[in-house]
Amino acid sequence: MKAPCVRVERERGETTRRELAESDLIADDLEIVVEDDWLYVPITDPDAVPDGFKVVEHDVPTRETPDMPADILGFEPTYERLGDIVLIDEDDAERARDIADAIVASAFPVKTVLNRASKIKGKTRVRDWDVLAGDVTETVHREYGCEFALDVARVYFSPRLATERHRVAKQVEPDERAFDMFAGVGPFVIPFAKRDARVVGTDLNDVAVEYLRENARLNGVEDRVTAIAGDVRETTSEYEDWADRLVMNLPHSADKFLDTAVALTGDDCVIHYYDIQHEDDPFGPGETAIRAAAEPEYDVSVETRRDVRSYAPHELNVCLDVRLTR
Ligand code: SAM
């Protein structure tokens, strides 16, 4: 079948395969093909492939071994992989049990299968999980060459936002001063620091901040990362007027933190403002709120209006990249 593949010279094959595997980008159900001194590595998401790799459409055979969950079940289940944990979202208990059993019996290197048991909730945005297999909710997840230790039962983390985080991280320049107001375990902070920015991350959830510190060490960027536990409105006065870049990933409530954001903003700063709004006007409320908080002290210009994903029927999760210039 035709599939998106990274094409690479044979001699760079193993390094490339390892690099793509670290970011969980290899399509496990398809074979890697060698042809005319080129290796074709089938991938799951062409947009997520790091810069510098060539992506082409190529014919690759499907794996013959019946070792994927779909081969065992006879249908394609929906799941997300987070390190060696597999997350599913099934209301029907029997179907959830069947999917978990198939995942465990498959070739996936899986320790735990969890089923969503609640929406994300409260200030820390953590959800409840039913444990269907295994008992460990802590793992190390790899994303674009970064490693994130986390406990999915105690912190917020969504592997679905990997492409969006990478889009933002690519904009970061060395020596920038970046501030993540709702940092979690560091999926923005760590890649920013790996691009040589100086980064501050705050979070209300003490457990997330402990993981953020651990992840800074794990990725060798602890000298460029400052992690602060507590409410960002009360813990960051020493960073007033400081930031060249701000991340505000607290959709639904980010508007309530815009006064703090403007206080943190330096003379020229880009804010990545995440929001969830009705599809009829997904960007308008965010832009209005940012202008109300920042003008007339700052000129406000919207650089990007990005539809990140659908959140619920008629509701979109969006991002505004907004430049504030004093
Ligand atoms: N940026 C991370 C990510 O993309 O995975 C985490 C985003 S999560 C949607 C929002 C985070 O904001 C949670 O970890 C929560 O604990 C934190 N949070 C909520 N209210 C906060 C506040 N007042 N000050 C600091 N952090 C807060």
Please check whether residue 175 is in contact with residue 198, taking contact to mean a CB–CB distance below 8 angstroms. yes
User: What spacing in Å lies between the alpha carbon of 149 and ligand 1's midpoint?
Assistant: 16
pLDDT in tens, the chain (326 residues): 899 999 999 888 888 888 888 888 999 888 899 998 899 999 998 988 888 899 999 999 987 665 789 988 989 999 999 999 999 999 999 999 999 999 998 888 899 999 999 999 999 999 999 999 999 999 999 999 999 999 999 999 999 999 999 999 999 999 999 999 999 999 999 999 999 999 999 999 999 999 999 999 999 999 999 999 999 999 999 999 999 999 999 999 999 999 999 999 999 999 999 999 999 999 999 999 999 999 999 999 999 999 999 999 999 999 999 999 99
User: What spacing in Å lies between the alpha carbon of 323 and ligand 1's midpoint?
Assistant: 22
**Of 179, 185, 178, 183, whose CA–CA distance to 152 is shortest?**
185
User: What spacing in Å lies between the alpha carbon of 30 and ligand 1's midpoint?
Assistant: 37
> What pLDDT was estimated at residue 107?
83
Please check whether residue 280 is in contact with residue 316, taking contact to mean a CB–CB distance below 8 angstroms. no
User: What spacing in Å lies between the alpha carbon of 140 and ligand 1's midpoint?
Assistant: 19
> What pLDDT was estimated at residue 23?
82
* CA torsion through residues 151, 209, 216, 162, sign: positive
Nearest atom of ligand 1 to the alpha carbon of 183: 1
What's the token pair of residue 303?
């650089």
Tokens 């990362």 found at = 225
Please check whether residue 169 is in contact with residue 197, taking contact to mean a CB–CB distance below 8 angstroms. no
User: What spacing in Å lies between the alpha carbon of 185 and ligand 1's midpoint?
Assistant: 9
Amino acid type, 25: L
Tell me, rounded to whole angstroms, the distance of Cα 224 from its chain centroid.
Answer: 20
> What pLDDT was estimated at residue 65?
64
> What pLDDT was estimated at residue 196?
98
Ligand 1 mutation target, pool 212, 237, 250, 255, most atoms within 8 A of CB: 250
Ligand 1 mutation target, pool 204, 207, 212, 225, most atoms within 8 A of CB: 204
User: What spacing in Å lies between the alpha carbon of 249 and ligand 1's midpoint?
Assistant: 7
Closest CA to ligand 1's atom 21: 204
Beta bridge partners of 202: 228
> What pLDDT was estimated at residue 68?
86
Ligand 1 mutation target, pool 148, 182, 212, most atoms within 8 A of CB: 182
What's the token pair of residue 15?
């390094």
User: Alpha-carbon distance 173 to 177, whole Å?
Assistant: 9
> β-pairing, 243-248 with 265-278?
parallel
Closest CA to ligand 1's atom 23: 231
Please check whether residue 318 is in contact with residue 286, taking contact to mean a CB–CB distance below 8 angstroms. yes
pLDDT tens-place string over residues 131-157: 999 999 999 999 999 999 999 999 999
User: What spacing in Å lies between the alpha carbon of 298 and ligand 1's midpoint?
Assistant: 26
User: Alpha-carbon distance 41 to 53, whole Å?
Assistant: 11
> What pLDDT was estimated at residue 66?
58
What's the token pair of residue 71?
């081969």
125 sits in the region (left: phi over 0; alpha: psi -120 to 50; else beta) called left
φ, ψ of residue 42 to 5 degrees: the values are -65, 140
Number of separate helices (H) and strands (E) present in the chain: 9, 17
> What pLDDT was estimated at residue 289?
98
Closest CA to ligand 1's atom 13: 124
Ligand 1 interacting residues, C-beta cut-off 6 A: 123-125, 156-157, 161, 182-184, 187-188, 202-205, 208, 231-232, 249-250
> β-pairing, 243-248 with 177-180?
parallel
Residues with Cβ within 8 Å of residue 272, at least 6 apart in sequence = 168, 245, 246, 247, 248, 249, 319, 320, 321
User: What spacing in Å lies between the alpha carbon of 47 and ligand 1's midpoint?
Assistant: 26
Nearest atom of ligand 1 to the alpha carbon of 257: 23
